[in-house]
Chain A
Amino acid sequence: MIADITIGQFMPGKSFIHKLDPRMKIIVMTALIIFVFLAKNMFSMGLMLGFVLVAMLLTRISPVMYFKGLKAIWFLIVFTSVLNMLYLRGDTVLFQWSFFTVTKEGLWQSAFIAMRLVLIIIISSMLTYTTSPTDLTAAIERLLKPLNVVKVPVHELAMMMTIALRFIPTLLEETEKIMNAQKARGADLESGGMMKRAKALIPILIPLFISSFRRAFELATAMDCRCYTGGEGRTRLNVLRYRFRDIFAFVLVAAACGGIIYLNTLAPALVH
């Protein structure tokens, strides 16, 4: 069933990281991603790697899942690494063929850059794996609230995100129904070239569009009936609250970041 696709890949759990306030998670994970770029030598990168691996284990989500997250961009990582390896020059030539030269320094650097990419993917997967889309939306709405001052419709954007998340499975289910209905009428969706298959999609997209508009009107009426008048004066069932563990996580990440800056000074930078 296509409707089984889970959005954001949330994996419910009760780990320390699952229980962190989603706002704090966004803050510390953003900080970690920034510091992945600031770690410039083996020592600081080692600390970052260690820190992220420990956090990964703390989520109690199987490393296989993180590996799956990496699989999607595996090609990108390999591709950029190979390019870097050939492009970055050093003194110690390891291998030369026609105009391709691989140096020891180039090898190290490309490995370093690949490591950065891998870490970023792991950190962002950690955020989406341990935070429900609802919490994520609520946190983003809360964190971006100051932008209201410059007239960014933060609440409306968050509401749109919530409704999108709510309706994606419904619309996927509907797409499947329409596809089956068209197949039952003899529509051939699988064979033929690009053009033919693209054309075959039209009788699926049109009913889907029409029904989406109908849904939108009905939903708007239902929201009116439930006294929705926008973000002003709204309260929330689940109020986000920082707890001790959030402060703890913050201090831990701050210490790691401090450590990275210190370790950067102990050895020459590998990359810039």
Chain B
Amino acid sequence: MEHTNITSDNLEVQISAQDVYFAYESTDGGEPKEVLHGVSIDIRKGEFVALLGHNGSGKSTMAKHMNAILLPSGGKVLVGGMDTADEELLTEIRRTVGMVFQNPDNQLVATIVEEDVAFGPENLGVPSEEIRVLVDDALKTVGMYEYRRHAPHKLSGGQKQRVAIAGIIAMRPKCIVFDEPTAMLDPRGRQEVMDTIDKLTGELGITVVLITHYMDEAARADRVIIINDGKILTEGTPKEVFSQIDMLRAVHLDVPQPTELAQSLRDMGFSGIPADILTPEECAKAIFAARQQQ
């Protein structure tokens, strides 16, 4: 035990994808379609990583490698040191890395919220009294405790998605991979889900991998990774990545609106405005400062 404490928390790797290749079997009997061409990613403990890329670039495929839903055809994926190809470790890997998908409806199994949240712990064979504690904790974390006796189909999209998140939290995972969790939600539902994710990365110290098409969501991450046609294109802090507007455009990605505005102003000759602006507040301050200078 002494030894494990020596390695710094921040440096310990949670998920390590090493030169991963993957091809889907083609449905019409043709050549298998290679989707990942040698992807290497290290996700560190407690980190909040956003994974971006245009449609069909292989984000979901990569995500499914992180808890052994898919196995690499070349290279390997380690979860907390466990090789995902080892079938013996399957349950352990999946309880370490949970996954939340786009459509909340297709993730909920039970007819009552609390029974759905209990589904994971039940599968793991946790004793009943402990399941009760896990379920109540998870529901409180996502703010759905009052709805524990409700039927899922009567909830809003954001609420359903939070129940789905609770179902994963109840398994006490170290890491959660979110595959476009807000894509089907209205602005309010999106906000609810993003607030929940903030809570997971903040208070609970859970490692989060977030796949999204919303740049403002990605801007909250510690690190942004851009995947393009099955290869890692670039990675860095949100500021580093989003300031490369031309590169983002080239791979058909949006730029956060404040960043775009700041860029346009720079192009118009407001040289005092920095290029690495992310939030509306930063942008407003920079514009204000630039006006005062003139």
A interface residues, Cβ below 8 angstroms from B: 3, 132-134, 162-163, 165-166, 169-170, 173, 214-215, 218-219, 221-229, 233-239
A169 touches B153 (CB 8 A): yes
**With an 8 A cutoff between CB atoms, is B213 at the interface?**
no
CB distance from B226 to the nearest CB of A (A): 25
Bound: A215/B111 CA distance, A: 16
Q: How many A-B residue pairs have CB under 8 A?
A: 100
Bound: A169/B110 CA distance, A: 12
B residues within 8 A CB of A226?
94, 98, 119-120, 123, 167-168, 171
**With an 8 A cutoff between CB atoms, is B105 at the interface?**
yes
B residues within 8 A CB of A221?
64, 69, 101
**With an 8 A cutoff between CB atoms, is B135 at the interface?**
yes
A237 touches B98 (CB 8 A): no
**Apart from A169-B153, A226-B168: 7 A-B pairs, beta carbons within 8 A:** A132-B112, A215-B103, A224-B94, A225-B69, A227-B171, A228-B119, A229-B123
Q: Mark B103-115, 1 if CB is under 8 A from A, else 0.
A: 1011111111011
Chain B's closest residue to A166 (CB) is B111
**What would 14 A/B residue contacts be, using CB atoms closer than 8 Å?**
A132-B111, A162-B109, A166-B108, A170-B153, A215-B105, A222-B107, A225-B67, A225-B69, A227-B91, A227-B120, A227-B171, A235-B122, A235-B128, A237-B121
CB distance from A224 to the nearest CB of B (A): 6
A235 touches B91 (CB 8 A): no
- Which residues 83-136 of B sit at the A interface, judged by CB distance below 8 A? 91, 94-95, 98-99, 101, 103, 105-112, 114-115, 118-128, 131-132, 135
B120 touches A237 (CB 8 A): no
B interface residues, Cβ below 8 angstroms from A: 64, 67, 69, 91, 94-95, 98-99, 101, 103, 105-112, 114-115, 118-128, 131-132, 135, 151-153, 164, 167-168, 171
A residues within 8 A CB of B94?
224-227
Bound: A166/B95 CA distance, A: 24
Question: A-B pairs with the 5 shortest C-beta distances?
Answer: A237-B118, A218-B106, A169-B153, A222-B107, A226-B120
Bound: A224/B90 CA distance, A: 10
B119 touches A133 (CB 8 A): no
